[in-house]
Amino acid sequence: MNKAEQTRARVEAGLKRRYAAERRFRAYGLGAVLLGLAFVVLLFSTLVSQGWSAFRQAYVTLDVQYDAAIIDPEGTRDTATLSTADYAALVRASLKARFPEAQSRQETKALYALVSSSAAQAVQARILGDPSRIGGHERLTFLANDRVDQLLKGRIDRNLDEDSRSLTDQQVGWIDALAADGALSLHFNKGFFTQGDSREPEQAGVWGAVVGSLFTLGVTLLLSFPIGVSAAIYLEEFARRGKWTDLIEVNINNLAAVPSIVFGLLGLAVFLNFFGMPRSAPLVGGIVLTLLTLPTIIIASRAALKAVPPSIREAALGMGASRIQMVMHHVFPLAMPGILTGTIIGMARALGETAPLLMIGMVAFIVDVPKGLSDPATVLPVQVYLWADSAERAFVERTSAAILVLLAFLIVMNAAAVYLRNRFERRW
C-alpha cells in the first residue's frame, strides 16, 4: 500500500464517525428548537384558552322606569339634584319588577347582586344626557355581575352544591330565566379595552395600563435612545482607548446585569425622595426604565458601530471629512439597523419590567386612565401582577387577557424592529 492509498484509507475510516457526529449535532439542535417551540405553544395555548373568554362579557337588558318620584321628587330638574339622585334604586326596582317573587331582604339582596354596580351610573348618564326622559321608560343594557358572567362562561359549576358555589340556586334560576328570554347574553367586551382598573372584575379594563405603558415607554424611548446612542458613538468613535474607557466599559456591562429592583430603589431614593417627583407617575417610571435600558442600548449600538467596515471610515476621512462628519454621514447610518434592533430589544425589556416600577408606586390601584406624564398610572405587567393577586374568579381570565394584550404589544414592537432593520439595511 503506497502513501496516497494509506491516506485515503484513513480518511475513509474516519468518515462514518464524522458524519455521525454531524447527525448527532443536528438532532440536538432540532431537539432544542422543538423543545423551545413546545413551551411557546404551551404558553400561548394556556393563555388563549384562559384569557379568550375575557374578551366577551355578560350583559343584562332590563326595562327601566325613570320614576320621577325617585329621581327628582320636587320637579326642579336642576343638575345638582339629577346627579345625586338614587339611580341604583331604579335598577333595583326594575329587577324587582322582573322577578316579583323575591320578597325577603336576603332574596332581594341576592337579586340585586345580579347586576353590576355600574348600572346606576349608566342610568344616570341617560338622564343627565336628556332629562326629558324622566317619567318614561327604556330598555337598557347593563354589565352583569362577574359571577353571572362566570356562570354563563361555565367557569362556575352549576352542578355543585349550593353552599360551595358563589351563586345560590335561586340566583341560578333567575339567571337561567333571563338568559331564556334573551335578556342576558355574552357580547364583545368593549369595556375591557376602554376602561381603567376596577375592584369589580366586570368593570375592570386594561386601557389604563395600556396608556400607562405607552406613556412610560414613550419617556423611556425619548430619553434612552439619544443618550444611549450618543454615549455609544462617543465611546466607539471619539474616546481614546485607555484605562478610563475600559473602566467605563466594564461598568456599563455590569449595569446591564444589575437586578432591576435595584434601579427601582435608586429611582425611589433619587427621583421621588430627593427631587420630589410625583409618585406612581409614568414620567418617573420612564426615567427609571431609561436607566435600565441604557446599558442594553449602549452595548448594542457599540457593537453595531464596530461592525461598520473600517474602509468606509477611511474613505470618509481620506476625503477630508471631519470625525463628526464621518460618523454622521457614513458610520451612523450604516449602524442604524443594529442600533434600532438593540433599542427595540431594550424597549421590549422595559415593557415587561415590573419590579422597579413597584418601588416607585406604579403598583397603586388606579381607576382613571392617565392623561399625562405626571398622572398616577400603572403599566401592563404590573396590572397583570395586580389581577393575578386578586381573589375573584373573574380576574383569572382577565389576567390571561392582559398578558395577551402585553404579548400583542411585544409582537408589534418586534415586527417594527424587523421592518426598520430591513428599511435601513444597506449593502456594500
Identify the CA nearest to 284 among candidates 295, 294, 275.
275
Give the integer Cα–Cα distance in Å for 152 and 394: 12
CA dist., res. 186 & res. 205, Å (int) = 17
Asked if 240 is part of the footprint of another protein (rule: CB under 8 A), the reply reads yes
For another protein, the closer CB: 312 or 367? 312
The owner of cell 431537539 is: 31
In the 8-state DSSP scheme, what is residue 364?
Answer: S
Q: State which of positions 312-331 bind another protein (CB under 8 A).
A: 312-322, 325, 329-330
Nine-digit cell at 125? 348618564
d(CA 153, CA 166): 14
Number of shown-chain residues binding another protein (CB under 8 A): 22
Smaller CB separation from another protein, 274 or 428: 428
Compute CA 320 distance to the chain's CA centroid, rounded to the nearest angstrom: 50
Q: Cβ 424 to another protein, closest distance in Å?
A: 11
Nearer to another protein, 138 or 314 (CB): 314
Closest separation in Å from C-beta 307 to another protein: 13
Positions 328 through 367 that interact with another protein (CB under 8 A): 329-330, 334
- Out of 16, 17, 105, 427, point to the residue binding another protein (CB under 8 A): 427
Smallest separation, CB 418 to another protein (Å): 21
Which value, in Å, is the radius of gyration of the alpha carbons in the chain? Answer: 31
Q: Which is nearer to another protein, 275 or 428 (CB)?
A: 428
**Can you tell me the distance from the alpha carbon of 192 to that of 204, in angstroms, rounded to the nearest whole number?**
6
**Residue with smaller CB distance to another protein, 237 or 392:** 237
The rounded distance, in Å, linking the Cα atoms of 179 and 161 is 22
Q: How far is CA 136 from the centre of its chain?
A: 43
CB of 243 to another protein, least distance (A): 14
Nearest to 288 by CA among 356, 334, 341: 356
Q: Residue 427 Cβ, how far from another protein at the closest point, in Å?
A: 7
**Site for another protein, residues 288 to 317, rule: CB under 8 A:** 309, 311-317
- In degrees rounded to 5, what are phi and psi of residue 29? -60, -45
Smallest distance from the beta carbon of 245 to another protein, in angstroms?
A: 11
Q: Find the shortest distance in angstroms from Cβ 416 to another protein.
A: 23
Which one, 240 or 243, has the nearer CB to another protein? 240
How far apart, in whole angstroms, are the C-alpha atoms of residue 188 and residue 50?
16
Task: Rank residues 17 and 426 by Cβ distance to another protein and give the closer one.
Answer: 426
Binding site for another protein (CB under 8 A): 240-241, 309, 311-322, 325, 329-330, 334, 426-428
